[in-house]
């Protein structure tokens, strides 16, 4: 708890030090909602239904997926790559607290901040643009939705961790991060519902682990998937989580043997 509180204080002071940066960051998020609202409004002016979504459903999708994206994709774990490359990891290795505890604490604080601000932004947006959001699903659906969301958060953390740990072998982690960012964001359903894609492409993208991050929880919350299939998909999602957990553990162990703190 102490680690968490310290990380919380550090994050707040970091945000307050670069206030313009912070304000523009949040403004950008709000703008994102506004832009997608206009984009979909323009498209739905000329057609009532696109794929499996009518106007109301697509508004619901982009607003809720915006919130989920803020929750799932907010991450500080990439700092680990910088620690490894700069040799700063040595300092953390001799700390009485595990470096992973610190990273997880920062990650949680970052997510908490994102969620708080996202809720305010979404509520403001929904109020200003008079968008109606209805969520109606059973208790079991709620449980399976939460499990899907947790699997998404864990999966993104371990994918990100695996990429950051590449820092043990290369100085340029930024390039793999860039490409993974593009692919993950593009195929996670964060920008658009994946079933809007042509059928053959949808099948390919849906088989990738990234669809678990946003698209699967959205499918559940919008009742676009039956309960049995949702349970199966969430179970598969946890298999992906385990695989990436195993990969990152393996990389950490191998990487530590390779680590020479040459950046110091």
Partner 1 sequence: MIRTVVFYLKLWWSFAQKSFSTSFYNRFSSILFLIGKLARTIIAFTFFFSVFSRLNTNVNGYGLNEIILYFLVYNTLVTLSEFLFRSVFEFRSKVISGSLDQVLTKPVSPLFSCLLTGADPLDLLVAVLLISALAVFIFLNFSVNSYILLLFFVCFILAMMFQAAFFISVMAFGIIFFEVDHLIGIYRDIQFMAEIPLRFYKPVFQFILTYVVPVGIIVAVPVEVLIGLFSLQNIIVLTVVSFFYFGLSLLFWRYALKKYSSASS
Residues that bind partner 1 in the complex, under the rule CB under 8 A: 18, 20-21, 24-25, 27-28, 31-32, 35, 38-39, 41-43, 45-47, 50-51, 170, 172, 174-176, 178-179, 181-183, 186-187, 191-192, 196-198, 201
| Per-residue DSSP letter, 211 | G
Decide whether 181 or 238 has the Cβ nearer to partner 1.
Answer: 181
Give the integer Cα–Cα distance in Å for 74 and 114: 7
Q: How many CA atoms lie within 13 A of 2 on its CB side?
A: 2
Decide whether 209 or 230 has the Cβ nearer to partner 1.
Answer: 209
Q: Which long-range contacts (CB under 8 A, 24 or more apart) does 112-118 make?
A: 112/8, 113/11, 113/15, 113/74, 114/70, 114/71, 114/74, 115/67, 115/70, 115/71, 117/26, 117/29, 117/70, 118/29, 118/66, 118/67, 118/70, 118/71
Decide whether 32 or 117 has the Cβ nearer to partner 1.
Answer: 32
Decide whether 43 or 246 has the Cβ nearer to partner 1.
Answer: 43
Decide whether 39 or 242 has the Cβ nearer to partner 1.
Answer: 39
Decide whether 138 or 172 has the Cβ nearer to partner 1.
Answer: 172
State in angstroms the smallest separation of the CB of 24 from partner 1.
4
State in angstroms the smallest separation of the CB of 27 from partner 1.
7
State in angstroms the smallest separation of the CB of 170 from partner 1.
8
State in angstroms the smallest separation of the CB of 114 from partner 1.
15
Give the integer Cα–Cα distance in Å for 258 and 243: 22
**Cα–Cα nearest to 168, from 236, 89, 239, 230:** 89
Give the integer Cα–Cα distance in Å for 161 and 138: 34
Cα dihedral sign for 163, 166, 167, 171? negative
State in angstroms the smallest separation of the CB of 197 from partner 1.
5
Give the integer Cα–Cα distance in Å for 221 and 20: 36
State in angstroms the smallest separation of the CB of 97 from partner 1.
30
């Amino acid at each position: 708890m102490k680690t968490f509180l310290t990380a919380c204080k550090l994050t707040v002071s970091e945000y307050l030090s670069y206030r313009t940066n912070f304000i523009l960051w949040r403004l950008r998020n709000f703008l994102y909602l506004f832009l997608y609202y206009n984009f979909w409004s323009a498209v739905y002016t000329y057609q009532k239904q696109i794929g499996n979504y009518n106007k109301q459903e697509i508004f619901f999708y982009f607003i809720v997926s915006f919130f989920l994206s803020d929750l799932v994709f907010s991450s500080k774990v990439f700092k680990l790559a910088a620690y490894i490359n700069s040799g700063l990891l040595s300092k953390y290795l001799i700390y009485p607290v595990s470096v992973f505890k610190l990273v997880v604490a920062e990650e949680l604080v970052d997510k908490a901040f994102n969620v708080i601000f996202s809720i305010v932004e979404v509520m403001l947006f929904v109020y200003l643009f008079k968008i109606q959001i209805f969520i109606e699903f059973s208790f079991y659906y709620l449980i399976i939705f939460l499990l899907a969301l947790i699997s998404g958060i864990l999966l993104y953390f371990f994918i990100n961790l695996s990429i950051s740990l590449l820092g043990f072998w290369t100085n340029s982690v930024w390039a793999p991060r860039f490409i993974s960012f593009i692919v993950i964001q593009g195929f996670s359903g964060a920008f658009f519902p994946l079933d809007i894609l042509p059928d053959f492409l949808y099948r390919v993208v849906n088989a990738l682990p990234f669809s678990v991050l946003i698209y699967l929880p959205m499918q559940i919350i919008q009742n676009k998937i039956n309960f049995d299939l949702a349970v199966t998909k969430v179970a598969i999602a946890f298999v992906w989580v385990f695989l990436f957990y195993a990969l990152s553990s393996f990389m950490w162990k191998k990487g530590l043997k390779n680590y020479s703190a040459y950046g110091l």
